[in-house]
Amino acid sequence: MSHGQPLTDEDRWGWLEALHEHALHHPKGPGTEHLVVTCSALKRQYRDILREGSEKAGDLRVHFLHLDAPEEVLTKRAEARQGHFAKGALVHSQFEILERPGQDESDVLTVSVDQKVEDVQREALRRVTELLDEDPE
């Protein structure tokens, strides 16, 4: 990606499987009830790999926070970043493979990022905090 080349599915599989394994073996106990992992699970099959952990672990709940915005908004933000390798062309490549969460993906929270970054952060934190505070039963 630092050379302007988007990742392929083959590039992502090992990394997604490593995240899946980490979540499965995350120590549980006081102070470790929650594990938050960030990644761009752009395709449903990527999200499904991560979901497999909850099915196998039993007490593991997997949720996704989908940050939704028009491509133009994200391209503009990427172009404005100083010293970051991901510029507009990489944003476009991500939109080419993006599979927006389906209505049947009830474990996905969607937050619009077509607003000020501070507002996005506040809304995302609020939604995730509410989710983490829920009783899983």
Looking at the predicted structure, is the pLDDT value of residue 128 above 80? yes
In a domain, 72, yes or no: yes
Indicate whether 92 belongs to any domain. yes
Scan for tokens 């997604």, then name that residue: 16
CATH of the domain at 127: 3.40.50.300
| Residue 3 placed within a domain | no
Domain assignment of residue 68, given as a range? 9-133
pLDDT at 110: 94
Within a domain: residue 13?
A: yes
What pLDDT shows up at residue 13?
A: 82
Residue 4 falls within a domain, yes or no? no
User: How many structural domains does the chain have?
Assistant: 1
Residues forming beta bridges with residue 64, ordered by sequence position: 108
Q: pLDDT digits over 72-124, tens only?
A: 988 888 888 776 555 667 888 889 999 999 999 999 999 998 889 899 999 99
Cα–Cα dist 114/120, whole Å: 8
What band does 7 get if pLDDT is binned at 50, 70 and 90? low
Region of residue 10 (phi > 0: left; psi between -120 and 50: alpha; otherwise: beta): alpha
